[in-house]
A and B are shown apart, each in its own frame.
Chain A
Amino acid sequence: MSGPRPGLPRWAAVTAIAGAGVFAAVDAVLVHRAGYPWYQSIPDALVGWAYISGGVIAFRAAYITGGVVAFRARRLDRTGTLMTAIGVTLNLDNVAFYVHALVPYAAWLGNLVDPLLAQLLLSYPSRALRSRLERAVLAAAYVQVLVVNGVRVVFVPPNYYPCPCVHSFPTVHNPAVFHALETEIGIAYVIIGTAVLALVFRRWHRSSGRARRALNPLWFAGLATITALILEEVLGFAGLTPAQLNAAYALVTVIGLSVPVALMIGLVRLRQSRSAVADLVVALDRAPGPAGVQQALAAALGDPSLTVCYWDPETQAYVGADGRPAGPDPPPRRAATEVTADGAPLAVLMHDSELLDQRPLLDAVAAAARLALENARLQAALAAQLEEVRASRARIVQAGLEERRRVERDLHDGAQQRLLALSLTIAMISDKLAAGPGTDPDLTQLAGTACGEISAAIGELRELGRGLHPAVLTNEGLAAAVETLAALAPLPVTTRILPARYPPAVEATAYFVISEALANVARHAQASKAEITACGDGGRLAVEIRDDGIGGAPARGGSGLTGLADRVAALGGRLTITSPPGGGTTIRADLPCI
């Protein structure tokens, strides 16, 4: 069956199962009255009822599942058809016990149950019959049951049936042909039955992990039933009394009950896995973001090791949720399930290879998560870009600080050293002029002026260097550098800074924050005193500059504070300004020590 089809409504399903139940009860009574013991009539009716009920439940499950996984619905439809067919065939066989006109038809088609059961067992867990061998064995079984057995019934010996039945079945009495075919059918039954047993066992043996656990009840029920049917056929040749044979048949029938029961258990489990998909949809809604999607998928598939890689169209490669490259080649015992959107790669689920046995669940989960995966991929791409921008901003600021240090060093080692040497030389000239008798006093004065000019130039150069990057910061750290700043400030400044060292960029940024803040205090705050504190806890450095001035400083604006806030942010930190009018100003910078 394929394509959409109207579902089996609940009332119809309940009616069908209840009707089959009533029929089974009546059937059991009628078979008993036809002369069969209860221990045979009741199991017969019960098995017929169980198969029909199982079939109805399968149809119903197919209807419910249909929207999520179409091919699973088709498989359930086929399961329902096979189970119902088995149930109807069993019932036909039973009805013949008291509707004698049906006896030859029952004799012809009664054994149809066996190939139907074989087909059910060989096709239920997977999409279709897998191997040519399976198809061949099954075809042989159908040929035996429908063709060979049909011919046998045509050649039925006179008075073979235990009742004087009037029927429409074409009949040519020929006991010799009849018995020959009967022997052939019996032998073929044992051979084909053994082959089916081996094929079912092979399927069980090849299935692994989760699939084996999920389908174990059906495998064991199937293997037990086929074994019992083969033994029953062998017993037919063993010359048992009719009473003993009837007891054996009843036992086999009871064992046969295990297959529909196991199938119904499987259908209940199927509904549970369907609810796993429903739970996933809810979980995806509640836990967005790449990490949330991964967690929800891991929970839905029961594989905590599951990871998700997203397709990055820019690099044409898979990346992890953190934006780092991740290969789609799964390591051993791992498998990759690709999720596509409109034919384009979207994501890859890396999971335990055992999950491959649950392909339909995997596909259903992937389908349910597609939209969330697409969102998560966009988020992952955005996170990667943002991370890149953050990193490049930090690099630019660090490079800027590094450049300032370099320029400061160059100034110090180059121009300043030359000026210093020059100042000593001119001082020496000045000394000599002053000591020498008869020197022009104007010349002495000029030399003195030159000395002063050079000293002033050296002083200015030193200030310039300090503005670029204070040497004391590199040499002694933040505490000493801030002490120097405080000493130069035009108002009393108390400092509370532990003499610890931090990364150069952090120290420099903290220093410039304090320097700019102190300059602002001096310019605008009309404060009588200020206080600087800095404390670090290994991972962070927090500096705070507090004054008792007029407050009202703009939190953001054209001031130097904006530039400071940018520099602090570039290092992943935060600058906050608290400045209520009349309440003083507090500037605080939190810097991570990267």
Chain B
Amino acid sequence: MVVRVFPLGQSGAGEQTGTVIATPQARPGTLVVVDDHARFREAVRGRLAAAGWRVVGEAATGAAAIDLVARLTPDVVLLDVVLPDMDGFAVADRLAAAGNSSAVVLTSGHDRGDFAGRVRAAPVRGFLPKEMISGPALAALLAGDQP
């Protein structure tokens, strides 16, 4: 297991992330963004690309996401909870049922409390509020350090 230590503050100004112990997934890899707002996907792509992530695909609906993730098997799926056709929990369930190995991270404009126990019960790596999406925050979450 490779362990890299990022000194505090190296990854960006104003980030609240402390010391990060990076697992292999924590290293920026491939990413699929699922959100029905194109403008938001664009912003996420820009922000995470700057942190070294490679956005290999985008989807606006749950069905398209399932299809895309099955084909690409990215390291991480950043999945909006509120989608036009089904909710993010259902997409995560379908991906898990299909045996997909991508790490799923839920995100939403609502905060975590609005979904209470469902995030804990879902086959996902964690939940990241939309305004907190950043390379370090994603890395921290994947490393098992929930914000």
Q: Which residues of A contact B (CB under 8 A)?
A: 412-413, 416-418, 420-425, 427-428, 430-432, 434-435, 444, 448, 451, 454-455, 458, 462, 470-472, 475-476, 480, 483-484, 487
A458 to B42, CA, bound (A): 19
Question: B24-32, B67-75, B115-123: which lies at the A interface?
Answer: B115-123
Query: B118: nearest residue on chain A (CB-CB)?
Result: A476
Q: Which of B58-74 contact A (CB under 8 A)?
A: none
Cross-chain contact B110 with A471 (CB below 8 angstroms): yes
Chain B residues within 8 Å of A413, by CB? 82
- Beta-carbon contacts of B39-54 to A below 8 Å, as 1s and 0s? 1101110110010000
17 new A-B contacts, CB < 8 A, other than A420-B130, A444-B13, A472-B116, are A412-B82, A413-B82, A417-B40, A417-B109, A420-B43, A421-B42, A424-B46, A424-B131, A425-B47, A428-B43, A432-B50, A434-B12, A448-B14, A475-B114, A476-B114, A476-B116, A484-B116
Nearest Cβ on chain A to B92's Cβ, whole angstroms: 15
Query: A455: nearest residue on chain B (CB-CB)?
Result: B131
Cross-chain contact B37 with A424 (CB below 8 angstroms): no
Cross-chain contact A427 with B116 (CB below 8 angstroms): no
Q: Does B111 contact A (CB under 8 A)?
A: yes
Cross-chain contact B37 with A421 (CB below 8 angstroms): yes
A289 to B44, CA, bound (A): 69
A462 to B50, CA, bound (A): 28
Pairs A–B under 8 Å by Cβ, sample size 12: A416-B109, A417-B39, A421-B37, A427-B134, A431-B13, A432-B50, A435-B12, A454-B131, A471-B114, A472-B113, A476-B114, A476-B117
Q: Which residues of B contact A (CB under 8 A)?
A: 12-14, 37, 39-40, 42-44, 46-47, 50, 82, 109-111, 113-118, 130-131, 133-134
Nearest Cβ on chain B to A579's Cβ, whole angstroms: 31
Cross-chain contact B39 with A418 (CB below 8 angstroms): yes
Cross-chain contact A420 with B131 (CB below 8 angstroms): yes
Cross-chain contact B37 with A428 (CB below 8 angstroms): no
Cross-chain contact B109 with A424 (CB below 8 angstroms): no
Chain B residues within 8 Å of A432, by CB? 50
Contacts A424-B46, A431-B12 given; indicate if A417 touches B37 (C-beta within 8 A).
yes
Cross-chain contact B44 with A424 (CB below 8 angstroms): yes
A437 to B16, CA, bound (A): 22
Identify which of A420, A480, A483 contacts B109 (C-beta below 8 A): A420
Cross-chain contact B116 with A434 (CB below 8 angstroms): no
Cross-chain contact A483 with B14 (CB below 8 angstroms): no
Query: B11: nearest residue on chain A (CB-CB)?
Result: A431
Contacts A421-B43, A424-B131 given; indicate if A484 touches B113 (C-beta within 8 A).
yes
Identify which of A418, A420, A425, A451 contacts B14 (C-beta below 8 A): A451
Chain B residues within 8 Å of A448, by CB? 13-14
Cross-chain contact B111 with A462 (CB below 8 angstroms): yes
Nearest Cβ on chain B to A114's Cβ, whole angstroms: 97
Chain A residues within 8 Å of B37, by CB? 417, 421
A455 to B15, CA, bound (A): 13
A262 to B82, CA, bound (A): 88
Chain A residues within 8 Å of B13, by CB? 430-431, 434, 444, 448
Cross-chain contact B14 with A428 (CB below 8 angstroms): no
Question: Most B CB atoms within 10 A — which of A418, A422, A475?
Answer: A475
Chain B residues within 8 Å of A475, by CB? 114-116, 118
A430 to B12, CA, bound (A): 8
Query: A466: nearest residue on chain B (CB-CB)?
Result: B114
A534 to B134, CA, bound (A): 41
Query: A480: nearest residue on chain B (CB-CB)?
Result: B116
Nearest Cβ on chain A to B114's Cβ, whole angstroms: 4
Question: Most B CB atoms within 10 A — which of A417, A444, A476?
Answer: A417
Contacts A427-B47, A427-B134, A458-B131 given; indicate if A421 touches B40 (C-beta within 8 A).
yes
Cross-chain contact A424 with B47 (CB below 8 angstroms): yes
Chain A residues within 8 Å of B115, by CB? 472, 475-476
A475 to B81, CA, bound (A): 11
A490 to B131, CA, bound (A): 27
A424 to B138, CA, bound (A): 14
Nearest Cβ on chain A to B112's Cβ, whole angstroms: 10
Cross-chain contact B117 with A421 (CB below 8 angstroms): no
Query: A461: nearest residue on chain B (CB-CB)?
Result: B109
A315 to B131, CA, bound (A): 60
A476 to B43, CA, bound (A): 29
Nearest Cβ on chain A to B19's Cβ, whole angstroms: 19
Chain A residues within 8 Å of B116, by CB? 472, 475-476, 480, 483-484
Contacts A421-B42, A428-B43 given; indicate if A412 touches B109 (C-beta within 8 A).
yes
A432 to B49, CA, bound (A): 12
Cross-chain contact B110 with A430 (CB below 8 angstroms): no
Chain A residues within 8 Å of B130, by CB? 420, 424
Identify which of A412, A428, A444, A487 contacts B50 (C-beta below 8 A): A428
Nearest Cβ on chain B to A586's Cβ, whole angstroms: 27
Chain B residues within 8 Å of A480, by CB? 116-117
Chain A residues within 8 Å of B47, by CB? 424-425, 427-428, 431
Cross-chain contact A470 with B114 (CB below 8 angstroms): yes
Chain A residues within 8 Å of B133, by CB? 424
A432 to B133, CA, bound (A): 16
Nearest Cβ on chain A to B33's Cβ, whole angstroms: 11
Chain A residues within 8 Å of B118, by CB? 475-476
Nearest Cβ on chain A to B51's Cβ, whole angstroms: 8
Chain B residues within 8 Å of A431, by CB? 12-13, 47, 50, 134
Chain A residues within 8 Å of B111, by CB? 462
Question: Most A CB atoms within 10 A — which of B14, B37, B50?
Answer: B14
A403 to B50, CA, bound (A): 41
Chain A residues within 8 Å of B109, by CB? 412, 416-417, 420, 458, 462
Question: Most A CB atoms within 10 A — which of B42, B47, B113?
Answer: B113
Chain B residues within 8 Å of A416, by CB? 109
Query: A419: nearest residue on chain B (CB-CB)?
Result: B131
Cross-chain contact B110 with A462 (CB below 8 angstroms): yes
Sorted nearest first, the 9 A-B pairs with minimum C-beta distance are A480-B116, A424-B43, A434-B13, A421-B43, A472-B114, A471-B114, A421-B40, A420-B130, A421-B39
A424 to B42, CA, bound (A): 10
